[in-house]
């Protein structure tokens, strides 16, 4: 294990800055595509506008700072054709990777000639400031900006429940990101193999473990017990990140530090320990989150009757007589919060380390499967007791007789799909007295081993398709400044890019499309359920695209036939079905 200085140095800080700059470039690129289509100032992302709330001010300051410490776009060094492909492959790099390597190459060029360009001087000063600050014992992490992210569509004249997403300053983001990488590697060997989120552990393919590995393990277990009844418990916690107890967290953290010192006696850990503690000190849900009575806060975000929903007062009293006596909750969106989830819930993982069951956890979601009902029941009780010892709040469990209801002599699965925590229930066909599907980490798996996309994930993708075409429709209504056909090209390119990647006719069979929706569901295979869903995505994407074309054609009625743009069909190479199922 390398020392903290190996992780935290000039090179890693510069790379962290450039990764953020690439994210900014990607975000601005989407806005630029809309800006090109219209002269409407509403879509001019370069125009300085009034900052109505802390989040808008934060974004403005972040963009300004990144522009000050990175080279202007016109100075980025061209990678050249040989460096635009992955090593040992003919596959073209995705644009974000090309931009990142271009920035690295640009920095090296200016460093070699000891440049006096202002951005270069600013960047080196910024790096020095971070290196000096992070080793100081009195260094503090600034309290984050709390941004209200709506859980559902905005409702007028009714309560709007939001998630408190936390945004840290540029300096703190970089410090926390690098510290998280170090501590994740430091603690990873002490975590159980049943945990799959925020790990540095590798799988058999030498890839960092992810939610895909959970699905692989469940399918393997299903196949191993193919002719047996299986029993399942699923658990999700209520407001997990918002109820993490700081005192318990620090105690568990100190235990892992003690183990780390025993395993790596030469490591110097004072600095990362200090940063971790300052991270806990900078925020607590019950102290830092605006209340529903803070009218100015909610008004600044144009959210009527906004609310950061928390645990019911009576529920809180199970563990705390007064909620202000303890510090509860860690920042959602903060780099160290994922690590804290593993530090916290590893206690439950240890107690569920039992070969009689399959136990998988991804952040605060878990699933237990066994061919013996008694094993599942025992494991469920062990898990609940473990959560109670950690002062956590699992959603109430619905057992099998509560999951299915009969309406007009038809089975209704509504309670099952709405249930957060459920079981034990038999995972089998309805005819055999079971429930045919389980849902975990974005997938759904039936008792035969077929997998499909979780309904909520499918719905999000369909809504995103609609949002993209609606955006472009709104843009071309007024102040259009490009040929009308450009709008259709922009729409289809965005729809293809977000679904299966920025593929072209010359590379559609070999590009990995790792920055697209497809990559989140790479375990899908061709079966009647997945086929139906993926075909639906293709059909709806075409429908949205041709709706836009119809509106464009109405606009083109007064344009001569010779100047009309030819409509290009985007079928197999660019389809969800080909890229997700057929190509595989």
Percent helix, strand and coil across the chain, each to the nearest 5:
55, 10, 35
* Cα–Cα dist 223/229, whole Å: 12
* Cα–Cα dist 105/364, whole Å: 40
Give the position of tokens 């100075």. Answer: 75
Positive or negative CA dihedral for 460, 466, 469, 472? negative
Rg of the chain over CA atoms, in angstroms?
Answer: 26
Pairing label, strands 443-446, 451-453: antiparallel
Cβ-Cβ contacts under 8 Å for 45 (sequence gap 6 or more): 28, 31, 32, 35
* Cα–Cα dist 237/103, whole Å: 42
* Cα–Cα dist 441/126, whole Å: 39
Q: 243 to each of 162, 288, 319, 364, 440, how far by Cα in Å?
A: 16, 13, 11, 12, 23
Kindly state the tokens that stand for 88. Answer: 């040992």
- What is the SS3 string spanning 241-279? HHHCEHHHHHHHHHHHHHHHHHHCCCCCCHHHHHHHHHH
Hey, is 183 helix, strand or coil? Answer: helix
Q: 309 to each of 134, 161, 319, how far by Cα in Å?
A: 35, 6, 18
Give the position of tokens 């879509």. Answer: 43
Closest of 450, 173, 226, 197 to residue 334, by C-alpha: 173
| Contact yes or no for 292/306 (Cβ under 8 A) | yes
Helix 528-555 crosses helix 484-500 at what angle (to 10 degrees)?
Answer: 170
Q: Is 347 exposed, middle or buried (0-12, 13-18, 19+ CB in 10 A)?
A: middle
The pLDDT profile of the chain, 584 residues, written as one tens digit per residue, is: 999 999 999 999 999 999 999 998 888 878 877 887 888 887 777 777 778 899 999 999 999 999 999 999 999 998 876 666 666 666 677 788 889 999 999 999 999 999 999 999 999 999 999 999 888 888 899 999 999 999 988 888 889 999 999 999 999 999 999 999 999 999 999 999 999 999 999 998 888 999 999 999 999 999 999 889 999 999 999 999 999 999 999 999 999 999 999 999 999 999 999 999 999 999 999 999 999 999 999 999 999 999 999 999 899 999 998 878 899 999 999 999 999 999 999 999 999 988 789 999 999 999 999 999 999 999 999 999 999 999 999 999 988 888 877 665 666 777 788 878 998 999 998 888 899 999 999 999 999 999 999 999 999 999 999 999 998 888 887 777 877 778 888 888 888 888 988 777 766 666 666 678 998 998 999 999 999 999 999 999 999 988 888 776 655 444 444 444 444 556 778 899 988 998 87
């Amino acid at each position: 294990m390398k020392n903290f200085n190996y992780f935290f140095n000039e090179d890693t800080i510069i790379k962290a800055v450039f990764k953020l700059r690439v994210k900014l470039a990607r975000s601005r690129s989407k806005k630029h595509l809309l800006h090109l289509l219209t002269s409407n100032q509403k879509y001019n992302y370069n125009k300085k506008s009034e900052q109505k709330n802390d989040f808008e001010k934060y974004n403005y300051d972040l963009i300004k700072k990144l522009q000050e410490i990175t080279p202007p776009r016109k100075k980025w060094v061209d990678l050249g054709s040989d460096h635009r492909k992955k090593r040992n492959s003919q596959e073209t790099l995705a644009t974000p990777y090309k931009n990142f390597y271009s920035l690295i190459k640009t920095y090296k060029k200016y460093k070699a000639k000891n440049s006096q360009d202002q951005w270069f001087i600013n960047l080196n000063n910024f790096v020095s400031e971070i290196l000096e600050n992070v080793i100081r014992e009195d260094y503090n992490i600034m309290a984050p900006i709390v941004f209200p992210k709506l859980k559902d569509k905005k409702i007028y004249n009714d309560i709007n429940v939001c998630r408190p997403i936390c945004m840290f300053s540029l300096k703190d983001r970089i410090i926390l990101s690098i510290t998280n990488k170090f501590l994740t590697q430091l603690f990873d060997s002490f975590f159980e193999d049943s945990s799959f989120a925020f790990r540095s552990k590798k799988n058999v393919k030498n890839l960092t473990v992810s939610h895909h590995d959970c699905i692989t393990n469940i399918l393997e277990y299903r196949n191993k017990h193919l002719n047996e009844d299986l029993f399942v418990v699923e658990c999700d916690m209520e407001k997990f990140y918002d109820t993490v107890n700081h005192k318990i967290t620090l105690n568990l953290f100190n235990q892992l530090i003690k183990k780390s010192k025993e395993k790596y006696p030469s490591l110097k850990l004072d600095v990362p320990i200090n940063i971790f503690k300052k991270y806990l000190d900078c925020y607590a849900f019950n102290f830092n989150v605006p209340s529903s009575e803070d009218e100015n806060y909610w008004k600044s975000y144009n959210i009527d009757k906004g609310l950061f929903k928390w645990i019911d007062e009576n529920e809180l009293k199970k563990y705390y007589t007064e909620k202000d006596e303890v510090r509860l909750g860690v920042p959602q969106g903060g780099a160290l919060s994922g690590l804290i989830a593993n530090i916290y819930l590893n206690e439950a993982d240890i107690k569920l380390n039992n070969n009689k069951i399959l136990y998988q956890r991804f952040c605060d979601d878990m699933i237990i499967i066994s061919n013996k009902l008694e094993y599942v029941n025992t494991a469920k009780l062990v898990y609940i007791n473990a959560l109670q010892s950690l002062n956590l709040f699992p959603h109430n469990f619905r057992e099998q007789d509560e999951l299915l209801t009969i309406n007009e002599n038809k089975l209704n699965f509504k309670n099952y799909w709405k249930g957060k925590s459920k079981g034990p229930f038999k995972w089998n066909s309805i005819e055999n007295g079971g429930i045919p599907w389980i849902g975990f980490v974005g997938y759904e798996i039936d008792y035969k081993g077929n997998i499909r996309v979780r309904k909520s994930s499918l719905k999000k993708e369909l809504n995103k398709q609609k949002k993209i075409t609606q955006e472009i429709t709104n843009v071309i209504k007024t102040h259009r400044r490009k040929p009308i056909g450009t709008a259709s090209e922009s729409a289809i390119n965005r729809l293809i890019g977000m679904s299966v990647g920025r593929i072209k006719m010359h590379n559609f069979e070999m590009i990995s499309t790792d920055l697209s929706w497809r990559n989140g569901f790479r375990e899908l295979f061709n079966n009647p359920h997945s086929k139906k869903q993926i075909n639906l995505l293709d059909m709806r994407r075409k429908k949205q695209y041709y709706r836009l074309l119809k509106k464009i054609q109405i606009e083109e009625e007064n344009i001569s036939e010779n100047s009309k743009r030819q409509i290009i069909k985007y079928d197999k190479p660019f389809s969800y079905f080909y890229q997700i199922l057929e190509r595989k």
